[in-house]
């Protein structure tokens, strides 16, 4: 792990006092230049705002979340370790699709070891998700997060926040999300050097996971997504064993092929289970970011596996959705990471990505 990552991982134990924080930064990262110092120290101040995720706030959020998950029948597998919020993104752990298995993408084979604790965690997360994500729930989340009154920060500060969110998808490595962000971006940059908007898309595609710092449960932040308000197709992971308590099953209107939607109404007109994809899309739209439509589609639908990989829901798509689908499939190849991948030198990459942020989504955003 490089020096910036090391320093950032210590951001949350910085003193409130600016002079002491500055001294502390000098100790943990003596060679930091002005840009890095400003970034880390401004990230610290952000944490001290109202409604923040200072260690105390993280603890409170986690306590609330734990209580909620206990109430709703089991945790999503997360936990707090030394001020870190631990998330396990099931999308990155378990992929049942034949197409993905054949592609040679490198996944641990959780299916063959059903006693594996990670497999239990994945299934529990999906059980919670498929029990609670219904039309009413999703609409409620759109209203709640659609106020964009949780916090204010630049894109880079939000990335720094993500450093305290560990996607513990693999028991052997704990990869902070900021590393995953830069790895995805750099892989895309290597394959598509001329498409700078795609590099930035890779960097920010998971930024919506910051919801986890504000009490949003795992099953409402990460994992594969699906449409609510119409029949649940067989391509959804654990379709047969996790939906039995979903309230929408009792409403006949929601259990036909089209459900509450018109044929080929376009995915922009359907409600998809709440998670980091939809939230980040809404944040970018609300803050008038100028990324191209392809980027917005990728961010909004990259976890929508039953569609982009399972090939379901085509009867709800319009022509625009079908035109954008190849972009999402292309992106996903770079999002699925292998644990052997080298950790990028974030510090040296920072100026390039900051220039993209300044171009497409500059300044302070409302989240
Ligand atoms: Fe994601
Ligand atoms: Fe990702």
**pLDDT single digits (tens) 85-124:** 777 777 776 777 776 666 655 554 445 454 566 677 888 8
How large is the average pLDDT for residues 260-278?
A: 98
176 Cα: distance to centroid of ligand 2 (angstroms): 11
**Residue 367: is its pLDDT beyond 90?**
yes
Indicate which ligand has the atom closest to the C-alpha of 91: 1
21 Cα: distance to centroid of ligand 2 (angstroms): 32
**Residue 152: is its pLDDT beyond 60?**
yes
What is the DSSP secondary structure assignment for residue 254, as one 8-state letter?
Answer: G
Bigger pLDDT: 333 vs 74: 333
54 Cα: distance to centroid of ligand 2 (angstroms): 24
pLDDT at 324: 97
Q: Tokens 């379901």 — which residue?
A: 312
**Contact between 87 and 125 (Cβ < 8 Å):** no
**Contact between 11 and 43 (Cβ < 8 Å):** yes
Give 55's contacts (C-beta < 8 A, 6+ positions apart): 12, 13, 83
Neighbouring-strand partners of residue 228: 271
3-state helix, strand, coil in the chain (%, to 5): 55, 5, 40
**Residue 37: is its pLDDT beyond 80?**
no
Q: Strand ranges (DSSP E) for the chain?
A: 79-81, 84-87, 152-153, 165-170, 173-176, 227-228, 271-272, 365-366
Bigger pLDDT: 39 vs 82: 39
Indicate which ligand has the atom closest to the C-alpha of 187: 2
Indicate which ligand has the atom closest to the C-alpha of 336: 2
> How far is 181 from 174, CA to CA, in rounded Å?
14
303 Cα: distance to centroid of ligand 1 (angstroms): 6
**Contact between 186 and 200 (Cβ < 8 Å):** no
56 Cα: distance to centroid of ligand 1 (angstroms): 27
**Residue 59: is its pLDDT beyond 50?**
no
**Residue 43: is its pLDDT beyond 60?**
no
Indicate which ligand has the atom closest to the C-alpha of 277: 1
What is the DSSP secondary structure assignment for residue 342, as one 8-state letter?
Answer: P
| pLDDT tens-digit series, residues 158-193 | 998 887 776 544 444 456 788 889 999 999 999 999
Q: Return the closest-CA partner of residue 18 out of 40, 33, 2, 34.
A: 40
Q: Tokens 């596996």 — which residue?
A: 305
304-315 as b/e, with b when 16 or more CB fall inside 10 Å?
bbbbbbbebbee
334 Cα: distance to centroid of ligand 2 (angstroms): 9
227 Cα: distance to centroid of ligand 2 (angstroms): 20
pTM for this prediction: 0.77
| pLDDT tens-digit series, residues 304-353 | 999 999 999 999 999 999 999 999 999 998 887 654 567 889 999 999 99
**Contact between 302 and 294 (Cβ < 8 Å):** no
**Residue 78: is its pLDDT beyond 50?**
no
pLDDT at 41: 58
**Contact between 91 and 322 (Cβ < 8 Å):** no
**Residues, CB-to-ion distance under 5 Å, ligand 2:** 206, 335
**Contact between 302 and 331 (Cβ < 8 Å):** yes
Indicate which ligand has the atom closest to the C-alpha of 299: 1
pLDDT at 291: 98
57 Cα: distance to centroid of ligand 2 (angstroms): 25
Instruction: Name the pLDDT band for 24 (thresholds 50, 70, 90).
Output: low
207 Cα: distance to centroid of ligand 2 (angstroms): 9
**Contact between 209 and 157 (Cβ < 8 Å):** no
Indicate which ligand has the atom closest to the C-alpha of 181: 2
Instruction: Name the pLDDT band for 17 (thresholds 50, 70, 90).
Output: low
pLDDT at 35: 53
Q: Strand ranges (DSSP E) for 220-282?
A: 227-228, 271-272
**Contact between 109 and 80 (Cβ < 8 Å):** no
How high is the mean pLDDT of the chain? 80
**Residue 147: is its pLDDT beyond 90?**
yes
How large is the average pLDDT for residues 210-214?
A: 93
Q: CA triplet 225, 183, 109: central angle to 5 degrees?
A: 55
Torsions phi, psi for 315 (to 5 deg) = -70, -10
91 Cα: distance to centroid of ligand 2 (angstroms): 9
Indicate which ligand has the atom closest to the C-alpha of 276: 1
How large is the average pLDDT for residues 192-212?
A: 97
274 Cα: distance to centroid of ligand 1 (angstroms): 12
CA 207 to chain centre: 6
| pLDDT tens-digit series, residues 293-304 | 999 999 999 999
Torsions phi, psi for 84 (to 5 deg) = -85, 145
Share of the chain above pLDDT 90, in %: 56
pLDDT at 129: 96
71 Cα: distance to centroid of ligand 1 (angstroms): 27
Indicate which ligand has the atom closest to the C-alpha of 337: 2
256 Cα: distance to centroid of ligand 2 (angstroms): 32
Domain boundaries of the chain, sorted by first residue: 74-366
**Contact between 242 and 123 (Cβ < 8 Å):** yes
Indicate which ligand has the atom closest to the C-alpha of 280: 1
112 Cα: distance to centroid of ligand 2 (angstroms): 24
> How far is 22 from 4, CA to CA, in rounded Å?
15
Bigger pLDDT: 346 vs 283: 283
pLDDT at 52: 36
223 Cα: distance to centroid of ligand 1 (angstroms): 8
27 Cα: distance to centroid of ligand 2 (angstroms): 32
| pLDDT tens-digit series, residues 214-249 | 999 999 999 999 999 999 999 999 999 999 999 999
Q: Return the closest-CA partner of residue 228 out of 256, 270, 280, 265.
A: 270
């Amino acid at each position: 792990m490089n020096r910036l990552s090391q320093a950032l991982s210590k951001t949350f134990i910085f003193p409130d006092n600016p002079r002491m924080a500055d001294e502390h930064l000098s100790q943990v990262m003596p060679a930091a230049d002005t840009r890095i110092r400003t970034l880390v120290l401004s990230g610290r101040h952000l944490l001290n705002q109202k409604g923040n995720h200072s260690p105390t706030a993280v603890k409170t959020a986690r306590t609330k979340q734990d209580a909620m998950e206990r109430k709703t029948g089991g945790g999503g597998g997360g936990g707090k370790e030394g001020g870190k919020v631990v998330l396990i993104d099931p999308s990155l752990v378990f992929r049942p699709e034949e197409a993905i298995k054949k592609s040679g993408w490198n996944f641990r084979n959780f299916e063959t070891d059903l006693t594996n604790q990670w497999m239990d965690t994945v299934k529990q997360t999906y059980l919670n998700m498929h029990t609670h994500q219904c039309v009413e729930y999703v609409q409620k989340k759109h209203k709640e997060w659609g106020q964009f009154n949780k916090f204010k920060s630049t894109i880079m500060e939000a990335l720094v926040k993500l450093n305290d969110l560990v996607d513990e998808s693999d028991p052997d490595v704990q990869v902070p999300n900021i590393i995953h962000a830069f790895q995805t971006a750099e892989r895309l940059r290597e394959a598509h050097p001329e498409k700078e908007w795609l590099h930035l898309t890779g960097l920010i595609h998971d930024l919506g996971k910051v919801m986890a710092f504000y009490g949003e449960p795992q099953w409402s932040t990460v994992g594969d997504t699906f449409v609510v308000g119409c029949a649940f197709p067989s391509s959804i992971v654990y379709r047969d064993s996790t939906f039995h308590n979903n309230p929408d099953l009792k409403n006949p209107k929601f259990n036909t092929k089209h459900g509450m939607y018109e044929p080929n109404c376009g995915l922009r007109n359907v409600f998809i289970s709440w998670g980091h994809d939809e939230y980040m899309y809404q944040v970018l739209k609300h803050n008038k970011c100028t990324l191209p439509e392809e980027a917005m589609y990728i961010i909004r639908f990259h976890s929508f596996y039953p569609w982009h990989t399972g090939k379901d829901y085509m009867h709800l798509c319009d022509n625009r959705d079908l035109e954008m689908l190849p972009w999402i499939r292309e992106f996903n190849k770079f999002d699925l990471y292998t644990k052997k991948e080298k950790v990028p030198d974030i510090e040296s990459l920072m100026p390039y990505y900051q220039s993209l942020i300044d171009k497409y989504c500059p300044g302070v955003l409302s989240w």
